[in-house]
Amino acid sequence: MSFSNLTLNKNLLRALTELGYDQPTPIQLGTIEPILKQQDIMARAQTGTGKTAAFALPILHRLAENECEGRPVRALVLTPTRELAQQVYKNFEGYAKYTELKSAIAYGGVSIKAQITALKQGADVLVATPGRLLDHLTNGTVTLDKLQFLVFDEADRMLDMGFMDEISRVLKCVPKQRQTLMFSATFDDDIHKLGKTLLNDPQLIEVDAINTAAEKVEQIIYAVDKDRKREMVSHMIGAKNWRQVLIFVRTKQGADALAKEMGKDGIKAVSIHGDKSQGAREKALEDFKQGTIRALVATDVASRGLDIRQLNYVINYELPYNAEDYIHRIGRTGRAGENGLAISLISPDENYLLEEVEKVLDERLVAQWMPGYEPDLTKDTSGGRPKSKAQHKKRNQKGSGRAGGSGGRRRR
């Protein structure tokens, strides 16, 4: 099926052709029609599946069919991070290129002035992070009384990041009569609860199995001692001459330290995390896209919204505490049909985290050894693995290193 079968505005179709979008992705096939029919939806889709266009196209279509004088904000997209806000905003701009519709963006960490100027000029669509949106609402630099569409993008992450209070305050400023669309990579109880309070008789759209991202991505797990991980990563990137590698770590300090150490190994790497200024984050991303740096070392939060076309390699330097983040991470590669490779380095104390990932994916992931980096089985194995995430964190905070070697093949 092609986009032209979806009866979208011809100016939108023109932009899609230019962007090289031939066919709708499964999530787009699932959501575009119901949104056009004014249905509230709750859609499960990971980043990388084309979910932005899945809501942007029908919204733009409906806005374009009914232009509004003075361009009040008629569609609001809330995102958990500024990177995702930028990505979504860019997509709206791209799709609406041949229409008269205007979009604006509002996120924190940068001066509010330019945002106020843009809003004053009128914007049909506003893409915003909740905190900065509330600043604008409080200052009266934006009003939402003409809102028709409210979109929650990556709703699961919004909850994880503690945005519930902000969301409640935003809801007081939007009309009750509206269409609400919620996108989330996962549907757990909290998301269902939130959906019930926000949505009106929503259509549930789950075109993707939870592990769709994983299907296009080859996953390799290497068992390796913690203190040899950095050496192994630099070796892999150097020996295989990988040019663009996204590396995930758990902490901001860890990201900084790894990028620095890799630099000493001759691999140009930069860290990206929440403590970096917006300018630094944008520059890092741009340098990465341009290929002036080979490795981007990111925390989970910072990685949201990174859309790098044809990213082939993702390395999990450490597994995330939240198994669902694994799906988000590996979804950074294999985007929109591309193939990707996701490599995870597992030290013995992370075996329980791998088990959590396996549960979420409903798939067994067998660890292997890389020649020259086999785990040292003679090392202390008395530590045992931590029984809980809290214990694991505590152990790491103490800096106690590895917690016991179970060997390359994991026991189950």
The rounded distance, in Å, linking the Cα atoms of 406 and 348 is: 6
Give the per-residue contact string, 336-355, with ligand AMP (x = CB under 6 A; - = no): x-------------------
Q: What are the C-alpha distances in Å from 281 to residues 133, 195, 261, 270, 274?
A: 21, 32, 19, 10, 9
Can you tell me which of 24, 202, 334, 340 binds ligand AMP, judged by CB under 6 A? 24
When binding is defined by CB under 6 A, the residue of 6, 12, 15, 21 that contacts ligand AMP is 21
Tokens 């990971």 -> residue: 46
Q: What is the dihedral of CA 150, 153, 107, 61, to 10 degrees?
A: -50
CB of 118 to ligand AMP, least distance (A): 23
Binds ligand AMP by CB under 6 A, chosen from 6, 8, 43, 50: 50
Given 11, 52, 351, 406, the residue binding ligand AMP (CB under 6 A): 52
245-248 and 217-223 strand pairing = unpaired
Cβ nearer to ligand AMP, comparing 318 with 325 = 325
- C-alpha–C-alpha distance, residues 264 and 295, integer Å: 13
- Is 48 a binder of ligand AMP (CB under 6 A)? yes
Looking at residues 278 to 307 of the shown chain, list those that interact with ligand AMP (rule: CB under 6 A).
Answer: 307
**Counting contacts by CB under 6 A, is residue 334 touching ligand AMP?**
no
The residue among 97 and 146 lying less far from ligand AMP, judged by its C-beta, is 97
**Residues paired with 218 in a beta bridge:** 341
DSSP classification of residue 241 = T
User: Which one, 21 or 222, has the nearer CB to ligand AMP?
Assistant: 21
Nearer to ligand AMP among residue 310 and residue 391 (C-beta) = 310
DSSP conformation letters of 269-322? EEEE-TTS-HHHHHHHHHHHHHTSSSEEEE-HHHHTT---TT--EEEESS--SS
To 10 degrees, what angle do helices 82-95 and 278-290 make? 60
CB of 401 vs ligand AMP, minimal distance in Å: 37
The answer to the question of residue 179 lying near ligand AMP (CB under 6 A) is: no
Candidate segments 41-49, 261-269, 344-352, 376-384, binder of ligand AMP by CB under 6 A: 41-49
Give strand pairing partners of 179: 149
Question: Does 47 contact ligand AMP by CB under 6 A?
Answer: yes
How far is the first Cα of the chain from the last one, in angstroms, to the nearest whole number?
44
| Minimum distance, C-beta of residue 85 to ligand AMP, in the bound complex (Å) | 13
Residue among 222 and 248 whose Cβ is closer to ligand AMP: 248
Q: Between residues 220 and 336, which has the closer beta carbon with respect to ligand AMP?
A: 336
Do 65 and 16 form a contact (C-beta atoms < 8 A)?
no
CB nearer to ligand AMP: pick between 31 and 148: 31
> What is the helix (H) or strand (E) element at residue 26, kind and residue range?
helix 26-36
